[in-house]
Structure 1
Amino acid sequence: MNQEKYNEKFEADKQDSEILKAAFAQVSDIRKFEIELYWKRATYFWALIAVAFAGYFSILASEHMPNKFFLALIVSCIGFVFTFAWFLSSRGSKYWQENWENHLDLLEKKVTGPLYKTLLERPDHINMVERFVTGPLSVSVSKINQWVSVFVVFSWVSLVFFSAYKSLAPIGLTKDQWFAIGVHALVVLVAFIICYMMFGFGKTHKEKHTPKAIERETEIG
């Protein structure tokens, strides 16, 4: 679809187009709703990850818990999966947010003028303190959030390998201990497989939709 076909769909060539105005209002509302959902999802994952961190260090702090490093390995894998899901969820939210922002850019010209895509910035900073500390900075808050999620993913991966090492370090290589190694590897492998499945098979379907329509009839007997 090119710009001309896009304009035709929303009758963007007519100054008083009701379709254009309705589309602009709808897009503006959906964009605000998508941003609100973005932070609600982030809060949801922050809560889960905080609980996972608390559980992990509570297990390590316990002096009399049997197999505590193996249990810590399980919790660290859970935290890793939660954090990777948060990372993908943030990218998915960003995808839809940009979709509606692009619609705003294309529709706003004949409704409000180029208001949304016109930036009014300071010509220059007064001093070095304002430049590096107190002044405004053109950064994406959502991208900062995604970098935080990347760092937390790295932290969980480190804890996964630390827990696995501490759990396996005291053992030798007898038959039972090889079995223990296999169980540890299986826990880590399942966590990574789940993340791979989320990334590979959790993407938005953008091909043709062919839903089945069923009409339900209702009448008084």
Structure 2
Amino acid sequence: MTTNRDTYFGALGLSPPGAKSKGTRRTAAGESSDRERDARLAALTRSHEIRQFEIELYWKRANYFWLLQGAVFAAIGLIWRDASGLIPSLLPVGLAALGAVTALAGWLSSQGSKFWQENWEHHIDMLEDEFEGRLHKTAYVGKKGIRWSVSGVNDRLALCFWIFWLFVLLVATSKTNPNWTLDPHKLTLCPTGQEVGTIACWLFAIGGSLYIRDRTSDMHGKDVAYPEGTIELKQGDVRPYLFRREPKI
């Protein structure tokens, strides 16, 4: 039993495997040990169930954002193909701004889903040894080595699409405002309504991205740092830690 594992079970409020049960009689001590073992088994079972649930939610959320981006892109394509001129030329700029915000929201959502999935995988890693051996922590690598992470590829693709939507926004802006130039002699202090609308769309794309990027959390409690091992980050070495949430009331 490592010090980190002792810390983990202490934060979880469970006795670690092999701990001596308190009791005045052998029977009472045995019953207490059985209850503690059942509690650890229940925690492991629930960790497996919620991990599977988080994986299902990850792909459902990913499909939601991919479908939304596809609908926005299809709308822009139909507008650009329209030759009647009845559709406002500013609309593709607004849709491109919406696409950029949606792509970033999809990427952040996948990051959040992955965080909670890894949270339950950490619980499994700590709890499984007593009941399942090291099944979850043991992987058959094979001759070609460790392969790519499916969710990791999806995360990177979502980020690439956010960059793509910024490019689409630039193209839509250029098509809507062909007279815009970087020449300071041709700048005017009296923008048209279409130019004001274009600027508003850019502000929406930037402001919306910053707004959804803000990490909001109602978690409150205390940190429980692991005494062994550190993780290398750009800011320096830090110890991994648990966060014990407490009831709000």
Do both proteins adopt the same fold according to a TM-score greater than 0.5, normalized to the shorter chain?
yes
Aligned pairs, how many? 200
1:6 is matched with 8
Contact 2:103 2:158 in 1 (8 A): yes
State the Cα distance separating 1:206 from its structure 2 match. 3.1
1:132 is matched with none
Q: Which structure 1 segments of 5+ residues have no match?
A: 126-135, 213-221
Contact 2:65 2:103 in 1 (8 A): yes
Separation of aligned partners in 2, 1:178 and 1:75: 20
Contact 1:87 1:150 in 2 (8 A): yes
Instruction: Indicate yes or no: 2:101 matched with 1:75.
Output: no
Instruction: Indicate yes or no: 2:151 matched with 1:142.
Output: yes
1:143-189 CA deviation, whole Å, 9 max, x = no partner?
Answer: 10011101111111001011111111147866654553232112111
Larger helix proportion of the pair:
1
Contact 1:20 1:107 in 2 (8 A): yes
CA-based RMSD of the aligned residues comes to 2.3
TM-score (norm 1): 0.82
TM-score (norm 2): 0.73
Contact 1:59 1:65 in 2 (8 A): no
Instruction: Indicate yes or no: 2:41 matched with 1:21.
Output: yes
Separation of aligned partners in 2, 1:203 and 1:149: 21
Instruction: Indicate yes or no: 2:156 matched with 1:152.
Output: no
1:51 is matched with 71
Q: Show structure 1 runs of 4+ deviating over 6 A.
A: none
For the residue of structure 2 that corresponds to 1:114, the secondary structure is coil
2:207 corresponds to which of 189, 193, 204? 193
2:220 is matched with 207
Q: 1:107 to 1:113 in 2, by over 3 A?
A: same
Contact 1:60 1:68 in 2 (8 A): no
Larger strand proportion of the pair:
2
Instruction: Indicate yes or no: 2:172 matched with 1:163.
Output: yes
Instruction: Indicate yes or no: 2:186 matched with 1:182.
Output: no
Separation of aligned partners in 2, 1:7 and 1:137: 31
Separation of aligned partners in 1, 2:50 and 2:38: 18
Q: Which amino acid aligns with 2:217?
A: T
Separation of aligned partners in 2, 1:104 and 1:58: 49
State the Cα distance separating 1:207 from its structure 2 match. 2.3
